Structure formats: structure tokens, C-alpha cells
């Protein structure tokens, strides 16, 4: 039934720890939502591929996994179902199936329901199972700053919403993943481990991960010191404590999740080394710009779609450098190197 695609299987393997952790945080809803998404995603691709007499690609497993883990945990099942059908049918099927899609299917489905049902998608958060480690690993102990730097707020609100209210989430909770947000985006630690695995197995391109992260970090630093990030005033901090809001802003939202799993999509992304650096810069920059200045709580879907839009053009602007062909050795005509007779050459 499935086309065997080892690369896609490795991506699915890397997402298993995120799924298990999300199940720990939010319980049965993660299992039910994921099961529904996989069933509808596979079923939709089967309908398209059956008419072409082709097998279902294992890439649809990646699409279903990435899409389901990108959802807020309290997303209604019917909305989750509409999104994955749109992702597979419109994001990939209408282009001709696997390998022909322009946009990342998971991002396509996520952005569609994000725009179609904004009220639901921006409020479908749940209070996760929390482990309060702020006393043992308080940021104030690490940086020697006042307790106002790291207020450990345990609510259903996302860290970005908490920061906009003027509070600062605990960095250790953000790093380990004990905070609100979409189902698979919370644990920075697990995402980093997944990135290491994907790069080690040469499943994901390190240039895309690095450029996306570096661009997002650069824009975060610029916006922070310009005083443009809502709820954060750089005047409140000094010295090393400036690292706290910058790190918190980077570990909040889904920028790391997108950098590792979405920007590295080999189909919708560019192929040439030079274009890959620019591509990642576009995704990271647009993501943090939309997050900071727009009315949307997050901008990674917009950033990834913008990168997809220019991927082919970037490959034309930054073509691969052609390797110089080595000159063929000249044929010798000296009497010493040519056989004098058939007997001599035998």
C-alpha cells in the first residue's frame, strides 16, 4: 500500500518522542486527534493515488504527524479533520502527488484552518501537566537577577501570551517543555535531540536548520533592543540578564519546531547550497516579524509559506557552482609507447 521511503520513516521516528511527551502533557486528546489525522490523511492520499494507479507515499505519514503536532491540544476534531484533508488534497494531491507540491502540505493545512477558524485556533489551549521546577532551577539563581525576571506562570496561555502580558516564563520550563502551546512545539530539548538525529542520519539539511534558526535569532535580537517586542522592555534588564528575554522569545512559539521539521522539507525547499541559506533567512525573518508586529500570535506558518514561494526562484538566482572538468590526458604518439607489432602488444 505504501511506497517505501526511508527518509520519511526517519522523520517519523524523530517525532515519536514529541508525540509521547505531548500525550503526557495533554492526555487522550493527543492520541485521538493524531489517530483521526492519520486516518484522514492516508485516506485522502489513497483516493488521489488510486486514480493514478500509484501507491500511497510514506511522506503522508510525515505530513500527518507534523500537522497533528502543530495543532493546539483543544482543537475540535472536525477542524483538525478539515485541515489534514485540505493539506493532502490541495497542498499536494492537486499538484500531482508526492514530489510535485510547491508548498509544504502540513503547513498548508495548518495555515488554512488558522485563517478559516482564527477564534477557535487562537484559544484552543489546555493547561498541560506541569512539573514546577522553578525553585530548583530559577533563572534568578542562574543570572543573579531579581525574581521579576522569571515569573513562573502556570496557565493555559501560551508563553508568548504570557510575555505579552509583561511576565517572563521560566526558562527551564520552556527548555524542558512544561508549558502551554501546540502539542509538539513545547520541548526545546526534544526538538534539539531530533535535530541532531536528523542531521546525523543526513535526513535533514543542516544549512536549512542553521539558517532558519540564525535568522530568527538575529531578528529577535534586533526587535528586542529596539523595544518592539510586546510586553518586554530591554531597560528592565542589564548585562547577562538580557539573555533571558531573548532566550525565552526563541523558545516560545513554534520557531524551533519549524526550523527542524518544516524548513527542511526537501520537496518544497530549494536544492542549491546558496539558495538554502537565503531560504532559511526568509523563513526565520518573516516568522519573527509577523509574530512581533501582526495581530497573529505566531508567524511561522507565514514564514514557511513565504520561503516555499521563493524556493524555485532562489535556485535560479543562486545556481550550483559547476565543477571544472579535468582535462583528458593527451594521447602519446611516441614510438616507445606504441606497440611495434601485434606480437608486441600481445
Clarify whether residues 204 and 303 are in a common domain.
Answer: yes
Q: Write the DSSP symbol of residue 227.
A: T
pLDDT for the residue numbered 18: 97
Based on the fold, state whether residues 59 and 164 are members of the same structural domain.
Answer: no
pLDDT for position 189: 97
Q: Radius of gyration of the chain from Cα atoms?
A: 24
- pTM for the structure as a whole: 0.86
160/238 same-domain check: yes
- Structural domain span for residue 216: 139-317
* CA 329 – CA 341 distance, rounded (Å): 24
Residue 343: inside a domain: no
Q: Which positions ≥6 away from 277 have C-beta within 8 Å? A: 207, 211
**Is the domain of 116 the same as that of 220?**
no
104 and 170 in one domain? no
Q: What is the pLDDT of residue 146?
A: 36
Report the distance separating Cα 107 and Cα 279, nearest Å. Answer: 16
Residues 102 and 245 in one domain: no
| DSSP structure string for 268-283 | TS--SHHHHHHHHHHH
Q: Is residue 44 part of a domain?
A: yes
279 lies in the same domain as 145: yes
Residue 48 in contact with residue 97, Cβ under 8 Å? Answer: yes
If asked whether residues 171 and 297 sit together in one domain, one would say yes
Q: Are residues 70 and 150 in the same domain?
A: no
Q: Is residue 260 part of a domain?
A: yes
**Number of residues assigned to the chain:** 346
Q: Identify whether residues 54 and 156 lie together within a single domain.
A: no
Q: Where are the alpha helices (DSSP H) in 70-227?
A: 77-89, 105-116, 118-121, 139-143, 159-164, 171-176, 188-200, 206-225
Whole-number pLDDT of residue 135: 41
**Has residue 66 been placed in a domain?**
yes
Number of domains in the chain: 2
242 domain residue, yes or no: yes
Q: Is residue 130 part of a domain?
A: no
Q: In the prediction, which pLDDT does 207 show?
A: 97
- Sort 53 into a burial class: Cβ within 10 Å, 0-12 / 13-18 / 19+: exposed
Question: 206 with 313, same domain?
Answer: yes
Q: Assess if residue 332 is contained within a domain.
A: no
Burial of residue 346 (number of CB atoms within 10 Å: 0-12, 13-18, 19+): exposed
Do 236 and 291 lie in a common domain? yes
Mean pLDDT by 10 residues, the chain (346 residues): 86 97 95 98 94 88 97 96 97 90 96 93 84 43 37 60 91 93 95 98 96 98 96 94 96 96 95 95 97 91 96 92 62 47 39
Amino acid at each position: 500500500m505504501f511506497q517505501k521511503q526511508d527518509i520519511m520513516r526517519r522523520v517519523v521516528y524523530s517525532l515519536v518522542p514529541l508525540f509521547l511527551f505531548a500525550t503526557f502533557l495533554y492526555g487522550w486528546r493527543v492520541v485521538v486527534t493524531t489517530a483521526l489525522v492519520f486516518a484522514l490523511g492516508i485516506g485522502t492520499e489513497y483516493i488521489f493515488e488510486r486514480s493514478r494507479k500509484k501507491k500511497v507515499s510514506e511522506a503522508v505519514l510525515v505530513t500527518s504527524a507534523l500537522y497533528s503536532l502543530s495543532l493546539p491540544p483543544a482543537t475540535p476534531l472536525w477542524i483538525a479533520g478539515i485541515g489534514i484533508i485540505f493539506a493532502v488534497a490541495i497542498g499536494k494531491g492537486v499538484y500531482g502527488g508526492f514530489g510535485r507540491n510547491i508548498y509544504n502540505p502540513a503547513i498548508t493545512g495548518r495555515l488554512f484552518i488558522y485563517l478559516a477558524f482564527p477564534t477557535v485556533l487562537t484559544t484552543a489551549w489546555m493547561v498541560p501537566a506541569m512539573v514546577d521546577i522553578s525553585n530548583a532551577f530559577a533563572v534568578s539563581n542562574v543570572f543573579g537577577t531579581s525574581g521579576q525576571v522569571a515569573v513562573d506562570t502556570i496557565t493555559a496561555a501560551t508563553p508568548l501570551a504570557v510575555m505579552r502580558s509583561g511576565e517572563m516564563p521560566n526558562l527551564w520550563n520552556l527548555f524542558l517543555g512544561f508549558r502551554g502551546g501546540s502539542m509538539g512545539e513545547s520541548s526545546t530539548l526534544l526538538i534539539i535531540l531530533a535535530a541532531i538525529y536528523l542531521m546525523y542520519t543526513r535526513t535533514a539539511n543542516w544549512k536549512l536548520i542553521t539558517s532558519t534558526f540564525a535568522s530568527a535569532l538575529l531578528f529577535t535580537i534586533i526587535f528586542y533592543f529596539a523595544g518592539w517586542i510586546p510586553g518586554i522592555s530591554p531597560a528592565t534588564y542589564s548585562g547577562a540578564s538580557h539573555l533571558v528575554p531573548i532566550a525565552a522569545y526563541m523558545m516560545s512559539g513554534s520557531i524551533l519546531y519549524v526550523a527542524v521539521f518544516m524548513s527542511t522539507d526537501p520537496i518544497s525547499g530549494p536544492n542549491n547550497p546558496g539558495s538554502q541559506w537565503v531560504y532559511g533567512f526568509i523563513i526565520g525573518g518573516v516568522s519573527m516579524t509577523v509574530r512581533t508586529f501582526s495581530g497573529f500570535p505566531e508567524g511561522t506558518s507565514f514564514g514557511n509559506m513565504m520561503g516555499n514561494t521563493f524556493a524555485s526562484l532562489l535556485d535560479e538566482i543562486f545556481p550550483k557552482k559547476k565543477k571544472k572538468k579535468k582535462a583528458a590526458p593527451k594521447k602519446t604518439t611516441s614510438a616507445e609507447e606504441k606497440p611495434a607489432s601485434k606480437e608486441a602488444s600481445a
